[in-house]
Amino acid sequence: MKHTRSVVLLAALTLVAPLMTGCSTAKTEVEAAIAAAEGMDQATLYKKAMEEIRGKTMTGIGNSSRGKTAQEYFINYLKGLDADGKESATIRAAFPDYDPDFSATISWTQPKNNTIFEAIDADIASSDHNISMTLIQDANQIQSKELDTGNLLNYVPKEWKGSASNKEPFALQSLNKIFEFNNLGDKTYKNCWDFVRTGETPMFMAPNSEPVGKNWMLMMTNDTYSAILKDAYDGISDATEKKRVGDAADALATKATDLGLGANAKYALAYIQFWMKQYSVQTDDGPICNELVKSSSVGSSGLLVYSKLRSVSESDGVSKKNVTVAAYQDGYKGIGGYMYKHYLQVLKTSPYPYASCAFINFMTCTYDGFKAWGKDIGGYCSNTNSGINQDHSNDGGTDYPVLNDKGYDWWTGTGAGKGNLVIEDPTYCAKVSYKVGSWIDGLAA
């Protein structure tokens, strides 16, 4: 009797198991919508989005205030209008289902003080979901808090073309934070180690103000960037400084091993240690830029967003001519700064998944969609198709060469005569965040 029951129970479990497996892998409505959207061409997706949000309000949340501008351009596009609100024959030909009477709103919010993760998590946990999609930065927290938990979902437009490194999580754009210095006086900065030589106090946003700065330091310990730092160390011309750096690196060799890092990581740790002890704490990149361009700021330097130079107005005692981009110099050695990204994701509880995907498609696959960001130097759309990114290679001409952006391929290139930027990677940042991050935090204590 006992044997018979066991056989029956086993048979029942055998029948139930496939059903349980099927339930665990079944797509949610949002996941199914994203999968469907990835198979739709742009026009079909936009039409579907219009049906979904007509007369309604979709909420987006982001680290960039320019999302508000982009959403205005998007609603215009669905009406057959360009970014300036004028009728566009080109748009109407590309999107024949435009509706000049279409009415919908995308409410865009920008949380302050890095509270975007709290806002997303709270909305997902609530019984009343409002936020549909996000434009978000800080690869480390994105990976550990949102991707690993499944809170944020990836959508890649059918029309998009680009690097695999920008595909998951899907990036809107990459942005530069680069080494710059005031070129008045007799100081030179021809090597990235010059920014941490004795007596230097480069201006920089504290990592607790903007965590992508900490990600830069985490990424420097990666084998690729540690090797660049080692090569730059070999090129230090001042014997006293070279010994100072070498001694510091050797003293950190055991620490690098303890942290599970590669052979050249001791140079990265030495750089981080010098940087954390020497940098001048700033609350924002704008003030750093405004200080560097002053005639009175002889010999000052900083690591800041490249695009901040766009807003400098020439006047007595203030000029963009007073600033040099370190990596643009012939013979410059080492890293030119770092690159972080803005990622576009759909919340797993998105009330309007098709509209979310359509808006993401618009921002990354149309000129008008990326225009809010693409108008400036130092920001590069992940989409490499022609007609999306703007050319800024001659924005400053011969008068202001500091504004002549060498572009994404140059900045991300490695080796002599390239930008050698330290590029943020979510997986690596999350992997080393606990051990290396704790060590960095100890330097700030």
One domain for residues 264 and 398? yes
Q: Which two tokens stand for residue 219?
A: 């990424």
Q: Quick one: pLDDT at residue 16?
A: 44
Question: Per the domain annotation, does 18 fall within a domain?
Answer: no
Amino acid identity for residue 87 in this structure? E
Helices within 193-346 (DSSP H only): 212-220, 223-234, 239-251, 253-258, 265-278, 285-292
Calpha distance 81→216 (Å, rounded): 40
Question: What is the predicted pLDDT for the residue at 25?
Answer: 64
Domain enclosing residue 330, as ranges: 174-340+393-444
Whether 167 and 186 share a structural domain: no
Statement to judge: residues 430 and 332 lie in one domain: yes
Q: Is residue 403 within 8 Å of residue 289, measured between CB atoms?
A: no
247 with 122, same domain: the answer is no
Strand partners, 284: none
As for how many domains the chain has, the answer is 2
- pLDDT at residue 52 in the model: 98
For residues 375 and 354, membership in a common domain is answered with yes
Specify the CATH number for the domain of residue 53. Answer: 3.40.190
The Cα 412–Cα 422 span in angstroms is: 8
Does residue 20 fall inside a structural domain? no
| Residues 226 and 368 placed together within one structural domain of the fold | no
Q: Using an 8 Å Cβ cutoff, are 168 and 344 in contact? A: no
Assess contact for 378 and 327: CB atoms under 8 A.
no
Asked if residue 5 belongs to a domain, the reply is no
CA angle (138 as vertex; 135, 143 as ends), nearest 5? 95
Residues 276 and 351 both lie in one domain:
no
Residue 367 lies in a domain: yes
Q: What is the pLDDT of residue 445?
A: 63
The phi and psi torsions of 54 (rounded to 5 degrees) equal -55, 125
> Nearest CA to 344 among 331, 330, 354, 357?
357
Q: pLDDT by residue (tens digit) across 306-320?
A: 999 999 999 999 999
pLDDT of residue 13: 41
Q: Spell out, as residue ranges, where the chain has pLDDT lower than 70.
A: 1-25, 445
Domain assignment present for residue 16? The answer is no
- Whether residue 317 sits in one domain with residue 190: yes
| Whether residue 307 sits in one domain with residue 242 | yes
Is 3 among the domain residues?
no
23 falls within a domain = no
Q: Can you list the alpha helix ranges (DSSP code H) found in 293-425?
A: 353-365, 367-374, 408-412
Query: Is residue 208 included in any domain, yes or no?
Result: yes
**364 and 319 in a common domain:** no
Residues 440 and 363 placed together within one structural domain of the fold: no
Same domain membership, residue 265 and residue 145:
no
